[in-house]
Amino acid sequence: MTATPAQPGNFDYGDPQLFVNRDLSVLEFNRRVLTQALDPSVPLLERLRFLTISSTNLDEFFEVRAASHREAAIHGASQLTLDGRTPEETLAAIAEVAEVLVHDQYKALNKVILPALAEEGIHLVRRSQWNPSQQEWILDHFRNQVLPVLTPMGLDPAHPFPRILNKSLNFVVIVEGEDAFGRDAGIAIVQVPRALPRVLRIPGSEPGTGMHLTMLSSVIHAHVGELFPGMTVKGCHQFRVTRNGDLWVDEEEVENLLQALRGELPERQFADAVRLELATDCPDELAQFLLQRFDLTEAELYRVDGPVNLHRLSALLDMVDRPDLKYPPFMPHIPKGVGPDDCIFATLRAGDILLHHPYESFGPVVEFLRKSSEDPDVLAIKQTLYRTGADSPIVAALMTAARAGKQVTAVIELRARFDEARNIGLATQLQEVGASVVYGIVGYKTHAKMMMIVRREQGKLRRYCHLGTGNYHVGTARAYTDISYLTSRPELGEDVHQVFLELTGLGEEQALNRILQSPFTLQKSMLDHIRAEANAAQAGQPARVVAKMNALTEATVIQALYLASQMGVQIDLIIRGACCLRPGVKGLSENIRVRSVLGRFLEHSRLFWFYAGGNDILFASSADWMSRNLKRRVETCFPIEDKQLRDRLTQEDLFNYLGEDVQVWKMQSDGTYIRNGQGQEPPLSHPQDRLLDKLCGSLHREDEPGLPGQV
């Protein structure tokens, strides 16, 4: 790690060629997710899950990223991306890459996943493959469970083209003949209600033939003629339209953000179209008809060889009871001192607690809040809520506390994309039981993960805090890797208190003791730490940065890393998703290595480690190194100062990920990724498996190496 003194090269750090396009980097991540679906070492039903995740990710990409570029292009915006592209150029690049990705998704489904499922006795049967008994059951099901809720819309001057819901299943049908009113038939639209299950299990299979399922789209397609009695159906083709997912509300003008958003939510389902998905066999003239109706171009049309919404196939994961085709179950560990029978307040008075999710349970965080809600010595509870999930025990505990007369303050981010409706409901519930609910700061999303408990002890008030890298969502806490930090340190309690004062009241920015905060001190502090490593390297001293995050897109941070690399700082970046930095460029970033790790769990924690002359510094954060996180959100970044906890977290969640492991993808300077260790014998291990082994005692193998040391 000893640095070689160096001088910065002659680079223009604003040169667009020094940056990878953010949107293409996101699509590259979705390519890596799709590759998981093709990996025979991944259990089969989990491979199906990865396929559906890649599809869902792409949906959101079009709703958010592609939609924003499309809107910019329509309004003539001149702002360029980091890599120097106009909105039109970005859209063209997106279309080129996404078309290949969509093609490969359906190829994976039809050529790999479905045949593999069939070999396991799980048959997704196309309508051309139904046997007579299956046809009989399907016809009966259609007539009794589907037909009554379908409403075909024949298009004529009295029946204009209907409003099509975002991402809903629809059919465009060509009909010939003359109807009861003497009208000549033509084109009809059939919209499928979302309440109907998209995957159906066909009962009565012969013993030993396995499970037989079919898609609702196949059922409707086979019997669509019954919607047009006496007419001739000449063509039937499924389609789906994706719309802009943004909600626009002028926060400076509205008096009540909750009411304004509640009014806007229904219209999002009918916002401007950004993508049309259409069956491959649909005639070109019909495709052009639909493109015109949705004001889309040929580049925004995606032909699909299968169901237009692959996400719907995730229903199979619950329908198929085959544990052998899924990841083996594990029991999250509950550390000593934070179990249901422990006094967590006494535990925290003795020292800080760090929980590494999902290997360690999120239950202690929920239990901490639940006990606080019932504890007569607890006077106040303050918490931020970004995403919580339906029927959240977190919200239930806050409501219990409010009913008990405690001062409950909830900072609810109503603008959490695609969770707006749920968060509006949570805000209403909490207000009804007497909690104080605020929506953060106008113009800044509140993305910080904080909870503060104020308790009276021996006549004095003491603060207990939880700070995290992930949301207060018990579901994702079992699927995402995140960090929970529980403490009663007075200086951290004072910091959390000050941040809550900023979120709920008015006042000037106050200096904090330990916590770094966006949009005030976080970016500057990160840049200062990177520059300190650069200065050390320039002086010939050891220097290193290791950082883990979901995305790296902020230009000034990237520029600081480039400069540090040129000075000789060794930099390892573990970035799950988008990365706009180009590693390994001669003279610029030769000392920077970027890797993305995929696996059973979604890597979600954000950690920033600096060598600091041997007195290493470690921060955990709710923020990625992105412009939005550093400049337009309220975020927290907190130091792990307890040496034992810091060393443990550094090993588990940073250096554990730097080995030559399976499912490690190494980024190249052109923005592409190369997967490490594919097909190697003996098989490489996975950092997540090592953590399951260490923290849960699950998946233990005698030949499995322990966690690697600091290299």
User: CA 34, CA 97: separation in Å to the nearest integer?
Assistant: 14
Is residue 447 annotated as a catalytic residue, yes or no?
Answer: yes
- The H or E element spanning position 29 is helix 22-37
- The helix/strand/coil state of 421 is helix
Which value, to the nearest 10 degrees, does the dihedral of the CA atoms of residues 291, 292, 297, 298 take? Answer: 50
User: CA 413, CA 274: separation in Å to the nearest integer?
Assistant: 26
Three-class HEC string of 133-181:
HHHHHHHHHHHHHHHHHCEEEECECCECCCCCCCCCCEEEEEEECECCC
CA distance to 187, 582, 630, 647, per residue, from 533 (Å):
67, 20, 21, 19
208 touches 191 (CB < 8 A): no
User: CA 171, CA 89: separation in Å to the nearest integer?
Assistant: 32
User: CA 150, CA 152: separation in Å to the nearest integer?
Assistant: 6
User: CA 587, CA 565: separation in Å to the nearest integer?
Assistant: 9
- Tell me the one-letter amino acid at 42: V
- Over its C-alpha atoms, the chain yields an Rg (Å, rounded) of 27
Q: 29: Cβ–Cβ under 8 A, 6 or more apart, which residues?
A: 57, 576, 577, 578, 596
Phi, psi of 42 (to 5 degrees): -90, 135
User: CA 215, CA 314: separation in Å to the nearest integer?
Assistant: 12
Which has the closest alpha carbon to 463: 372, 370, 374, 367? 372
Q: Beta strands 602-603 and 664-667: pairing type?
A: unpaired
What is the DSSP code (8-state) at residue 188?
A: E
Which has the closest alpha carbon to 295: 278, 309, 279, 274? 274
Which residue bears the tokens 């600081």?
560
367 touches 344 (CB < 8 A): yes
| Residue of 447, 466, 529, 686 marked catalytic | 447
CA distance to 172, 224, 625, 707, per residue, from 235 (Å):
8, 10, 50, 59
- The helix/strand/coil state of 396 is helix
Which residue bears the tokens 């706009």?
580
User: CA 685, CA 678: separation in Å to the nearest integer?
Assistant: 11
Strand locations in 515-569 (E): 516-518, 544-549
- The helix/strand/coil state of 317 is helix
- The helix/strand/coil state of 49 is helix
The tokens of 54 are what? 């890649």
DSSP assignment of 299-320 equals GGEEEESS-S-GGGGGGHHHH-
Q: Output helix, strand, coil percentages for the chain, rounded to the nearest 5.
A: 40, 20, 40
Which has the closest alpha carbon to 607: 564, 551, 549, 658? 549
User: CA 588, CA 217: separation in Å to the nearest integer?
Assistant: 53
User: CA 475, CA 99: separation in Å to the nearest integer?
Assistant: 32
238 touches 279 (CB < 8 A): yes
Residues with active-site annotation: 447
